[in-house]
Structure 1
Amino acid sequence: MVQYNFKKITVVPSGKDFIDIILSRTQRQTPTVVHKGYAISRLRQFYMRKVRFTQQNFHEKLSTIIEEFPRLDDIHPFYGDLLHVLYNKDHYKLALGQINTARNIIGKIAKDYVRLLKYGDSLYRCKCLKVAALGRMCTVVKRIGPSLAYLEQIRQHMARLPSIDPNARTILICGYPNVGKSSFINKITRADVDVQPYAFTTKSLFVGHTDYKYLRYQVIDTPGILDRPFEDRNIIEMCSITALAHLRAAVLFFLDISGSCGYSITQQAALFHSIKSLFMNKPLIIVCNKIDLQPLDGLSEEDMKMVTDMKTEAIKTLVAQGGEPNDDGVLLTMSTLTDDGVISVKNAACERLLNQRVEIKMKSKKINDCLNRFHVAIPKPRDDKERPPCIPQAVLETRVKENSDQKRKLEKDLENENGGAGVYSASLRKHYILANDDWKEDLMPEILDGHNVYDFVDPDILNRLEELEREEGLRLEAEENEAEFEMDGNELTAEESEALAEIRKRKSLLIQEHRIKKSTAESRPTVPRKFDKERKFTIKRMGRQLSSLGLNPTAAINRATCKRKRSSTRDGDGDGGNAMDIDVEQVKRRKLRNTRESKLANRHPRDIVPLGIKDSEQARQARKIKWKAEKLRNKAARRGEADRVIPNLKPKHLFSGKRSIGKTQRR
């Protein structure tokens, strides 16, 4: 089965991009270092290689374009005529012919200049010939720029065409605009064709797929056709005519008997008779749509006569195909709004098409080869006794019992009876196979560290929780009563009132100062203490503040200024005793203790595990988190890793210098 997938066609570059691609590839994949001191044969070989390489790249690219675009004479006539309708096959062939001519001209240019380079007598002469050769090749590509742009537009449009298999089982829908064709294909397939209440909503072919008797059928929705001369039809209508002319399909001719499409039954009947030659050798069904607005029985005599004439022509077409003059399934009615008769129309079309395809295969020459492979084995009777097919008695009894018993309830039925989804929860234990059915709903013990958790559950936990909640309520009530108490100035003395006013004033100033600092914290730099010009953090100022509060600042000043000095006396020497009187065991213990202290003092801070930390690894992670939290912000406005970076747009292969022969494997 041939599949036409136009989406695989390679993108066609423009003329300028074409030249840039080829010349850049030549510069990257051929040597770039040459000196005038080289032998003349080496110089000739250097520039001949450049010319040949450029010609080969042009040839490969142009050959790819010519081969990937379909030849109208080699593909199926449906696609050939469809491409002709959409793009005009003369222009299409002319563009591909120009590409082919340019490929041949570039080959001749390369051949001529390679011949001239064989007789180049200097570096300058060889370089001039190489420049001339590449320049003429680029000029040829520039001249075919419009053809390349035209082919790229065709490629983009062809990629949007539906994938239609001309040899598959196909149902074709045709008729006047706005008669319900797109609504029908949306009903029977998963296609999503736009449906609007005006004519020519569908402007191209749309494909959907449906199943009938385990076989896949493709359903094609065609644009609407008007009853006018062939030469006056536009591209949209010609797409439908092309599909009707070339596809072996079951044709559904839609007829709007209500007239709501804007066209009368007379006009639709005239269209049917004008294109009935396209229905030859195809199963034809006339579908009267929109019966919800106008039933078929309610038509006038004139309209009914036209519908009958169309039905007669359809029967004649059926007889011409070799079928029996049967009017069943030739004229059908339906309504896509109410879904009345939609499935019947689909089944009738699929059945008619399937029968026709079987008849065609039976009349073909290949059927004899197939019949030779079939062998139907018929057993010989061993006696004259008849043995009709029968059902065992046990099976019949089982069926009778099942029919007599009440229908088994499903989980869905139980869910509906018990409140529906979200309320009913299905029991997963009802099908457990246990020694006793009463055990199914028992609570399963939770085991933790080898112990049953239920053994440690306090049965009075709920009562104790209520007591705690009651105590908590009483405590909250007491706090509310305390909060309601406010101090007024009636019970305070004059000095206490002044102190209270001063405290409140000082508190409000501190709050305001803190809010100002907080609002400007991000933009305010961190100033070291040695650069504190306001002298806010000095020992003298601390002493003045403590004195103003009525406290003696001497001890605080001494603690801040004095340095910790090591005691000159050691343990055991302060009592004035002689060192010789010290016990030997006491000396050993002192040495051991001093050794431990020295080891602890000499340890690196990274090796010390703080309290509350499990091991050194956890301590390392904690220090890492601490360092990240204490890292100062970048207030110098330097570029960081999260800043936007505009990279250098110069490609490396064009600005990285010269390369010698043999250095082509850079990547």
Structure 2
Amino acid sequence: MIKFFGSLKDGFAMESKNKIPNPFRDLSKVSLFEEIEKWLFNKIASISFDASVKSAFLLPIKKIKLFSSLYSSKIFELKKVYLQIKNAHPFYVGACEFLYEGGFGCLINDLEKILQSERKIRILARNYIKAIIKEKTKSNIFLKQFLGRAMYVIRKNSYTMHKLREAHKKLNELPDIEPNVFKVAVVGAPFVGKSSLVANLTGKKLEIGKYPFTTKRINIGRISNEKFEIVVYDTPGILDRPLEKGSVYEKKAYLILKYLADFVVFLIDPTESAGYSLVYQNRILSSIKKTMPTMPILVVETHADLLQISDNRFCISNVTGFGLDDLKQELIKIAEQWYYEKFSHGPSKPQLGHL
């Protein structure tokens, strides 16, 4: 048994502090044109003429200043989101490439278009205030002109605003990254029992369908004990084909493998009841090994209540629970070694007993 030292405890305690949040989560702050229009006009309409002010032309100036100031404050919030996304972790950049129309670069450009509108409105506000001061009798005419031109500037980004808000629904599903937590990805062909295994190992309630490709998002379960935690990713099923020809869901699974997973449980259905032969499933496994040669992989056979074909692999049944405790303890043992290496400079690789 590995003994834990203070450095491990301290390192794990800092995990939440080092969590990398999903930078797309705050895309919800992108307002739609209709929302901005209603909000701005309600605000400036609330300003009434002050009888104590002798110069009536000051009211239009006040409204122009308020309009510009309010819009700048909204854009300022969006600028913080923009900077978060621009400096995003490669996992999020990769996901954006296929989840956002045009890819990550296009998303950045779309945000920049909206940000640039703030400067245009500030310039408009400054010019119309100067015009009112110069020709005070036309103050209300200039106010109407300013509002029309300012809303035109904002309206030009109406489609982009809608596009970003719609993209938020998909991008928001991506998980936060936890660099200091041991992460296991459960992968395999569609419908071999990945979601059931994650649910059984972690107690997480997941959507488990009666047909392939039920899992379309990255689901997360956790195994915890008094020493540490293990994040377990339930990934969408993958097929034996080039990544560029894969579905959006397959690409999500590969991103988890490439950027987040520290360890892989590859689930094989020896009964072939999912519709994929053993030869086919092993080709998927070989492809992963070839693509990620340094990734430690534990091959696990499912449906042990119906068929067992290997004596040197873990065999489990999601129906009867056979082998689940042994698999869980193996993952805890491997995680323990990973934590020891990360925080106490222990052995360089997990020691796998059943490959």
**TM tier, smaller:** 0.7 to 0.9
Match status 1:143 vs 2:156: yes
In the TM superposition, residue 261 of structure 1 has moved relative to its aligned partner by 1.4
- 1-side partners of 2:31 and 2:343: how far apart? 47
1:77-108 deviation line (CA, Å, top 9, x unaligned): 22232233322323322321111121121111
AA aligned to 2:132 is: L
Match status 1:4 vs 2:21: yes
- 1-side partners of 2:292 and 2:272: how far apart? 24
Equivalent residue, structure 1, for 2:216: 203
Equivalent residue, structure 2, for 1:17: 35
Query: Which consecutive residues of structure 2, in runs of 5 or more, have no partner in the other structure?
Result: 1-17, 347-355
Query: Alignment partner for residue 156 of structure 1, among 134, 159, 169?
Result: 169
Equivalent residue, structure 1, for 2:9: none
Equivalent residue, structure 2, for 1:236: 249
Q: 1:2 to 1:213 in 2, by over 3 A?
A: closer
Give SS of 1:195's match.
coil
Q: Is the 8 A contact 2:75 2:118 kept in 1?
A: yes
Equivalent residue, structure 2, for 1:412: none
1:594-648 deviation line (CA, Å, top 9, x unaligned): xxxxxxxxxxxxxxxxxxxxxxxxxxxxxxxxxxxxxxxxxxxxxxxxxxxxxxx
Q: Is the 8 A contact 2:305 2:317 kept in 1?
A: yes
Query: Alignment partner for residue 125 of structure 2, among 110, 124, 128?
Result: 110
Match status 1:288 vs 2:270: no
Query: Alignment partner for residue 343 of structure 1, among 321, 325, 348?
Result: 325
- 1-side partners of 2:290 and 2:128: how far apart? 60
Q: Is the 8 A contact 1:257 1:294 kept in 2?
A: yes
Q: Is the 8 A contact 1:167 1:248 kept in 2?
A: no
Give SS of 2:85's match.
coil
Query: Alignment partner for residue 225 of structure 1, among 238, 243, 247?
Result: 238
Equivalent residue, structure 2, for 1:216: 229
Q: Is the 8 A contact 1:85 1:239 kept in 2?
A: no
- 1-side partners of 2:93 and 2:328: how far apart? 29
Equivalent residue, structure 2, for 1:93: 108
Q: Is the 8 A contact 2:218 2:233 kept in 1?
A: yes
In the TM superposition, residue 162 of structure 1 has moved relative to its aligned partner by 4.5
Give SS of 2:223's match.
strand
Q: Is the 8 A contact 2:299 2:314 kept in 1?
A: yes
Give SS of 2:134's match.
coil
Give SS of 1:187's match.
helix
Equivalent residue, structure 2, for 1:26: 44
Please provide the CA RMSD for this pair: 2.6
Query: Which consecutive residues of structure 1, in runs of 5 or more, have no partner in the other structure?
Result: 299-329, 365-667
In the TM superposition, residue 343 of structure 1 has moved relative to its aligned partner by 1.6
- 2-side partners of 1:252 and 1:273: how far apart? 14
AA aligned to 2:19 is: V
Q: Which has the higher contact order (CA 8 A, sep 6+)?
A: 2
Q: 1:263 to 1:248 in 2, by over 3 A?
A: closer
Q: 1:11 to 1:97 in 2, by over 3 A?
A: closer
Give SS of 1:268's match.
helix
Q: Is the 8 A contact 2:33 2:155 kept in 1?
A: yes
Q: Is the 8 A contact 1:288 1:332 kept in 2?
A: yes
- 1-side partners of 2:83 and 2:198: how far apart? 30
Q: 1:343 to 1:284 in 2, by over 3 A?
A: same
Q: Is the 8 A contact 1:166 1:248 kept in 2?
A: no
AA aligned to 1:32 is: F
Match runs of 1:247-326 below 5 Å: 247-297=260-310
What's the TM-score, normalizing by structure 2? 0.83
1:200-248 deviation line (CA, Å, top 9, x unaligned): 1111110111124542221110000000012111101000000000014
In the TM superposition, residue 27 of structure 1 has moved relative to its aligned partner by 1.9
Q: 1:162 to 1:250 in 2, by over 3 A?
A: same
Q: Is the 8 A contact 1:250 1:350 kept in 2?
A: no
Give SS of 1:201's match.
coil
What's the TM-score, normalizing by structure 1? 0.46
Q: 1:33 to 1:73 in 2, by over 3 A?
A: closer
Equivalent residue, structure 2, for 1:177: 190
- 2-side partners of 1:230 and 1:268: how far apart? 16
Q: How many residues align?
A: 326
AA aligned to 1:266 is: V
Equivalent residue, structure 2, for 1:79: 92
Give SS of 1:72's match.
helix
AA aligned to 2:314 is: L
1:90-143 deviation line (CA, Å, top 9, x unaligned): 3322321111121121111112222222312x42x1221121112111111111
- 2-side partners of 1:217 and 1:359: how far apart? 15
Identical pairs, percent: 23
Q: 1:339 to 1:279 in 2, by over 3 A?
A: farther
